[in-house]
Every structure is written in structure tokens, then in C-alpha cells.
Amino acid sequence: MRLMTCSRASLALTLLLPLGAAAERPSFEVTSNEVFNPASIAPYAGDHGDVYARIDADLAEHLGELQRWVRQPSVSAQNEGITEMAQMLRDDLERLGFSEARIVPGSGHPGVWGYYDAGAETNLLLYMMYDVQPVNPGDWQVPPYAGELVDTELGTVLMARGAMNQKGPQRALLNAMQAIIDVTGTLPVNVMLLAEGEEELGSPNYPELVGKFEDRLRTADAVFFPFNSQNARGEITMYLGVKGILYMEMEARGGPQGGPTESEIHGSYKAIVDSPAWRLVQGLASLTSDDGNTIMVPGYYDAVRPPTESEMALVNGIAGTWDGQAAARQLGVAQWIDGLTGRDAIMEYLYMPTLNIDGIWSGYTGEGSKTILPHVATAKVDSRLPPGLHPDQAQAMIRRHLDDRGFTDIEIRRMGAYPAAQTSVDAPVVRAAISVFNKYGTTREVWPRLAGSAPFYQFTDRLGLPFVFAGLGHGGGVHGPDEFTVIYPAAGSGIAGLADIEKGYVDFLYALAGK
């Protein structure tokens, strides 16, 4: 998952397809003037002073728990430490008093299931991932699995693989639960936990894991994924969903219709031999307008559902705080497409599907000149899918468009796909999270969604549950070197340290229980 800190108003969904030149891209009109202000949600007012005191007293030990987790490598891509980490999570759940805690074998790295019966009315499902990305130790200023504390201008941080993504926030939540149990003997909510060890692989088998517990999971009131939601200035941003994705390889090869079938041939034959590279280029080009920014596949935009009234209020809210120019500058981008600004850029970013060329290759790509007619050409293309546009539907429309244009020779290989996930800002679990944020700091922006993708549809669509990924705390270096999470923040930084992160989770669990 990647984040982004980011409109377009016009007449409602209308797709114009002029012959030639630039196409008119449809857009959704923002018809509401309501502005969602996160400060309008009262800060959580409950006080659990004895639990907070326990956290403060045990903080060194709690930090030790985070260190224990990050010191256990669990690289899913390299199958390093996966079994050990799954066992560590299972054992930790047992130690916490989970009545069910077991490793769940399946088609991929095993899952971990846990159930804590608090005899409570509210059922919370925790999503967790116990795997991490690979490391290049030479790029790190500390060994990536040493769990070292490092002093930075943000304060003292835990610098290790998994510190932010996602062992740090997850173990902090378990620490908070431990403190509650130690003080009160139980939890304010019943907790189901279903963790996977393949998130960094794209969660290919999480649907299978969900299937094993589906009836029970449906009894949950909400799904929560602990997360570091603060930026380096301590500002809190929430995202209430993700776009879906369709990731494809599109390929043209010589065949019965023409073109070299076995290997590249001398380029001079182009005069009388069909070119798979031209076919791929032409087939791809048929998919978008000349500027690459409007998808020319019939029906593609029609499937996207318009923003709800409450989503419009969210967009109006973030349009007042988002610095689009700064966001572009940070990316090394001179301007957004069509010179979009403000709310127009936000709407485009969040509500439009994309077709993106992630990679393309064919023939000779080295230095200098080589005159060949390649027999194969391939592109990696992904499409980000806002709610309403399902990947199966998207792929079928692309296939039909190519076929209708005569590009039946272009093969589409699906590399991965899942639909969008969306939770309403009106869901009690969202209100609970914002109320806690407002107690510890300021919730600056609530976005309807990330423009990035994650398979959270398993919770929102399959299980029909509201899903929140949120939490106090700040970190960085996700997927790269020097991954960190702030433990003891510098004075005045506005960032929550480990103690406040855990207290926030305590409050969140009570808030969910209405206590």
C-alpha cells in the first residue's frame, strides 16, 4: 500500500468520443456543498487511567515486544522465517488469553487464526499481516533485523524491517490489549484475528483463509488493521477505502495471421512481414486518447459509481487543506494532467479508473543500432478500479474493445485482480477512530479512499463489513531501507510515541464497545 496526499466538477457522467484528437473524459459533478470537518466529531471522552498507567509502567517491556517481532525475519518472497513468525504470533495470542489460537495451513504461507471471547456485545475482526518485504542490508544504516533504536530529528525510532509495515503497529495493538486484560481481566470487545503471511505477495491466498472462517467472520461488527496514520508533522490522515486493480500482461506474437513466429528476423523484412511490436503498440494505443489520459474502452467510465453525498462532503473537506502543488513537486511532476488543480484533481485522482503502462518491451533494447523485426512484444498494464467497476468487467470490456478493433491477436494474461473497497465515513468504527484521533491530536484529512490498491474487498464486499486501517504513530521507509517507527518522539513534534499509540488503541477498543 502506498499513500498519497491529494477534483473535477462538470456535468455528470458523460462520455464524448470525438473522432481523432483529444477525447473528453467524463467526470462526476460534486453536487453537494457540504464540507466534512473531522473536528466536528467529538474527541473520545472515556478515561481509562489505570490502563494508561499500566502502559506507562510496562513501556520498556512493550518496546521489547516490538523488538522481538522485528528481530524475527519473515520475508514471504524468500520464505525466510515464515513458520517462526507464524508460531510467534500464535504463541503471543495464546499468552494473551485467546481461547483459540492456531496456525491455518493453506495453499500458501499459513494463516494465523485467533479468537478472544470477552463475552462482549461487540465483535471486532482484526486483519494482520506477519510477513515483510525483502531487505538489502547494505543499504541500511543499521542491521535490518537487529531491532535497534536510533536517534533522529523526529525522536528515538525503532529502525528495522517491519517497524512500520506492519509489525510495529500490530504488536502495539496487542500490547494495548495486554494492558487492558492485565488491569480489567478481559477486553471490552470480542476479538477475531485472521492474519496472513503473504500480504507482500499481493495476498493471493487470503480469500481462501477468509473462506475457512467466513460464517464466523460475518458476525463481526467491523474490521480493523492497525496502522501509523500520522505524517512527520503529526497530522493525521485517514483513508476509508482503496481502488481495485486489474494487472495484465498484453502480448503480441507472430502467428498464423503473420509476423515472425520463431525468432526475430532481419528488420528489412518489415516491408512484407507483419510486426508484433507494431500490433502491440497499435492495440495499446486504441485503449486511450492521444494524451494517454482518457480510456477509450466503451463502458469503462459508465460502470464507476458516483460519489455519495457523504463522500462529496469528504472531498469538499480535503479540497480545503490539500496542497496539490506541493504534492506534485514531491513527485517531480510539473503539473497534473490537463493542468487540473484543487478539487478537480482530487476527484480525478479518486474517482476515475486508470490504464497505466507499468512496463513495455520488445526486441533490441541495448546500446546502438540493431536492425531486427522482433517476433514478440509485451506490455504490463494495470487499471485502477474505483467502486462499481469490477476487474472481470473491466477485462471483458478491454478484450471486447480489442476484438472489435481487430486486435484478436493480442493476448491478455491476467496477473492479478480484485475490486475496490469502500467504507462509509458514517460507519461507527470510523467515527470511533476519528474520535480517538481527535483526543490525541488533530485529524487533518479524511479521504474517501487511497488511489492505490489492496484486497480489502474481502472485508467490505465479501463480508459486508466496514473496514478501517488507522492508528496513531508515524513511520517511514516502508519497502525500502531504514524502515522505522517513532517510539519516543521529539518534544513538540506532534507525533504520538509508543505509549500514546497504545493508549489510542485502548480508547479505540472501548469506543467501539460504546464505553
Map the footprint of a second copy across residues 418-457, applying CB under 8 A. 450-453
By CB under 8 A, residue 4 contacts a second copy: yes
By CB under 8 A, residue 354 contacts a second copy: yes
Burial class (CB in 10 A: 0-12, 13-18, 19+), 19: exposed
Footprint (CB under 8 A) of a second copy, residues 493-512:
none
Out of 162, 244, 259, 475, the only residue in the binding site for a second copy (CB under 8 A) is 259
| Piece of the chain touching a second copy by CB under 8 A; list 82-90, 125-133, 278-286, 308-316 | 278-286
CB of 423 to a second copy, least distance (A): 18
Whole-angstrom distance, CA of residue 84 vs CA of residue 86: 6
By CB under 8 A, residue 478 contacts a second copy: no
By CB under 8 A, residue 483 contacts a second copy: no
By CB under 8 A, residue 331 contacts a second copy: yes
CB of 411 to a second copy, least distance (A): 17
For cell 468487467, name the residue. 393
Q: Which is nearer to a second copy, 201 or 427 (CB)?
A: 201
By CB under 8 A, residue 412 contacts a second copy: no
By CB under 8 A, residue 139 contacts a second copy: no
In terms of C-beta distances under 8 Å and separation of at least 24 residues, what long-range contacts does 117-120 make, across chains too?
117/190, 118/186, 118/187, 118/188, 118/189, 118/190, 118/191, 119/186, 119/190, 120/186, 120/187, 120/188, 120/189, 120/190, 120/513
Whole-angstrom distance, CA of residue 160 vs CA of residue 100: 30
Q: Which is nearer to a second copy, 191 or 373 (CB)?
A: 373
Out of 16, 60, 334, 491, the only residue in the binding site for a second copy (CB under 8 A) is 334
By CB under 8 A, residue 88 contacts a second copy: no
CB of 272 to a second copy, least distance (A): 4
Q: Which is nearer to a second copy, 49 or 368 (CB)?
A: 368
Q: Which is nearer to a second copy, 230 or 378 (CB)?
A: 378
The torsion defined by the Cα of 470, 472, 474 and 480, in degrees rounded to 10, comes to -30
Out of 5, 231, 286, 393, the only residue in the binding site for a second copy (CB under 8 A) is 286
Out of 103, 150, 265, 427, the only residue in the binding site for a second copy (CB under 8 A) is 265
Q: ∠ at Cα 203 (202, 209), nearest 5°?
A: 170
Q: Which is nearer to a second copy, 33 or 136 (CB)?
A: 136
Q: Which is nearer to a second copy, 142 or 357 (CB)?
A: 357
Whole-angstrom distance, CA of residue 392 vs CA of residue 246: 8
Out of 163, 345, 432, 434, the only residue in the binding site for a second copy (CB under 8 A) is 345
Out of 32, 133, 293, 424, the only residue in the binding site for a second copy (CB under 8 A) is 293
- Please say whether the beta carbons of 113 and 102 come within 8 A: yes
- Please say whether the beta carbons of 481 and 139 come within 8 A: yes
Footprint (CB under 8 A) of a second copy, residues 373-402:
373-375, 377-378, 380, 382, 384
Q: 52 CB contacts (<8 Å, ≥6 apart)?
A: 503, 506
Out of 143, 207, 416, 428, the only residue in the binding site for a second copy (CB under 8 A) is 416
Sign of CA dihedral 49, 50, 52, 57: positive
Q: Which is nearer to a second copy, 33 or 107 (CB)?
A: 107
Q: 113 CB contacts (<8 Å, ≥6 apart)?
A: 100, 101, 102, 104, 192, 193, 194, 195, 212, 213
Number of neighbouring beta carbons within 10 Å of residue 57 = 12
User: 353: which 3 cell numbers?
Assistant: 479508473
Whole-angstrom distance, CA of residue 367 vs CA of residue 63: 52
Nearest to 376 by CA among 250, 246, 248, 247: 250
Beta partners for residue 113, in sequence order: 102, 194
By CB under 8 A, residue 468 contacts a second copy: no
By CB under 8 A, residue 45 contacts a second copy: no
Q: Which is nearer to a second copy, 211 or 406 (CB)?
A: 406
- Please say whether the beta carbons of 130 and 85 come within 8 A: yes
CB of 165 to a second copy, least distance (A): 15
Applying CB under 8 A, the site for a second copy has a residue count of: 92
CB of 386 to a second copy, least distance (A): 9
Q: 326 CB contacts (<8 Å, ≥6 apart)?
A: none
CB of 2 to a second copy, least distance (A): 5
Out of 118, 128, 277, 495, the only residue in the binding site for a second copy (CB under 8 A) is 277
The distance from CA 188 to its chain's CA centroid, rounded to whole angstroms, is 28
What number of residues does the chain have?
515
Footprint (CB under 8 A) of a second copy, residues 155-174:
none
State whether residue 383 is helix, strand or coil: strand
CB of 399 to a second copy, least distance (A): 17
Rg (CA), the chain: 25
By CB under 8 A, residue 263 contacts a second copy: yes
Q: Which is nearer to a second copy, 95 or 364 (CB)?
A: 364
Beta partners for residue 127, in sequence order: 194
For cell 504488536, name the residue. 171
Footprint (CB under 8 A) of a second copy, residues 194-213:
202
Out of 123, 165, 275, 435, the only residue in the binding site for a second copy (CB under 8 A) is 275
By CB under 8 A, residue 17 contacts a second copy: no
By DSSP bridging, strand 443-447 and strand 236-239 are parallel
